[in-house]
Amino acid sequence: MAKNDLTTRNLMLDSLKQYAKNRISFNLIREHDAKNEIPLDILKEMYDHDILGVHLLLIPEEYGGLGGQTTEIYRVCEQLARIDLGIATGVFATFLGSDPLNVGGTPEQKAKWFKKIAHENKLVAYGATEADAGSDLVSLRTRAEHVIKDGKVVGYKITGSKMWISNGGVADIYTVLALAPGGPSWFIVEKGTPGFTQDAHEDKHGIRLSNTAGLAFDEVYVPAENLIGLKEGQGFLQAQAVFGYTRLMVAAFGLGGGEEAVETALTYAQQRIQAGGPLAEKQGFMLKLITPHYVRFEAARAYIDWTMLPNRATKPPKMQSKPWADLAIRKNFL
């Protein structure tokens, strides 16, 4: 996809909206939420090239993807969040899981794995977090030991565990952070590799349509060619580079989910009659419960847009174009 290709971007967003309208009803979401179940058939359909091929967005064009730029990723994540945050997380996990390859893979690794993900519609997961290594990834305990043959490192044996991994129980391909002799490193592990098991899906409070599971590794053998970048000790640098994208995606989730929630509240406010008229016509209701959220969304969008400027100013711009934004700033809503 060419940079700033507005037509393609809008086409993609429209297809996503149309698909959600036809296939993902509120009842479907509610049923899966009650059962704490990922709608795997929906996710697979969304990956289908003839339907949406949503996973192609992050894959470079030379490997069969769409090569979406950050703006496309942000807008698609926003739209996904409007559908359902759990479904959005299921798609996001594939973006996230592919990212270590994006930022650190060799051209041969990218060709091999991206083509597999693109053409075979593979679900991917990103395995960094452990029981004692959340924000503090330095406390990582999962180890990758050398397997040596004829004096040469031919592979690694991974032992340890991960927790709270999105798509953890359903992915086909996993990128896994482990401590190799040369330092933290990312490895690619395929589902079904002997010694690799997935725990039961967590019973979460929210985003219940997203599968979240622990992973266990008992001397799981991966060939040396599955070490991302073919150099040990690059794991934290690569994870940091990945976070550059994921922070944007998570911000887009907050924006999309928030906008959808307030629009739902607004529709209700137009229908709900109290004291002789709809709630939407009552200043006390609108100015307290609806407008401040819209102001914050505009501020969030301006801030997200600002983070993507290539030569951005040192401070985010002040919103001056809309009178209500000035009013909100004066009233300390922002």
Ligand X SMILES: Cc1cc2nc3c(=O)[nH]c(=O)nc-3n(C[C@H](O)[C@H](O)[C@H](O)COP(=O)(O)OP(=O)(O)OC[C@H]3O[C@@H](n4cnc5c(N)ncnc54)[C@H](O)[C@@H]3O)c2cc1C
Count of H-run helices and E-run strands, the chain: 10, 9
Contact in structure between 60 and 114 (CB atoms under 8 Å): yes
- Chain center to CA of 55: 11
Q: By CB under 6 A, tell whether 243 contacts ligand X.
A: no
Least distance (Å) from ligand X to the CB of residue 129?
Answer: 3
Q: By CB under 6 A, tell whether 213 contacts ligand X.
A: no
Cα 64 to Cα 56: distance, rounded to the nearest angstrom: 8
Applying CB under 6 A, which of residues 121, 211, 212, 226 lies at the interface with ligand X?
A: 212
Q: By CB under 6 A, tell whether 244 contacts ligand X.
A: no
| Nearer to ligand X among residue 64 and residue 104 (C-beta) | 104
Contact in structure between 59 and 117 (CB atoms under 8 Å): yes
Least distance (Å) from ligand X to the CB of residue 164?
Answer: 4
Q: By CB under 6 A, tell whether 93 contacts ligand X.
A: yes
Cα 21 to Cα 187: distance, rounded to the nearest angstrom: 38
Q: By CB under 6 A, tell whether 127 contacts ligand X.
A: yes
Applying CB under 6 A, which of residues 79, 129, 185, 238 lies at the interface with ligand X?
A: 129
| Nearer to ligand X among residue 19 and residue 164 (C-beta) | 164
Q: By CB under 6 A, tell whether 43 contacts ligand X.
A: no
Applying CB under 6 A, which of residues 29, 83, 128, 176 lies at the interface with ligand X?
A: 128
Per CB under 6 A, which region of 62-70, 77-85, 129-137, 313-321 contacts ligand X? Answer: 129-137
Phi, psi of 182 (to 5 degrees): -90, 5
C-alpha distances (whole Å) from 97 to each of 5, 184, 295, 318 are 25, 17, 33, 35
- Name the β-bridge partners of 197: 216
- Interface residues with ligand X (CB under 6 A) are 93, 126-129, 134-136, 164-166, 207, 212
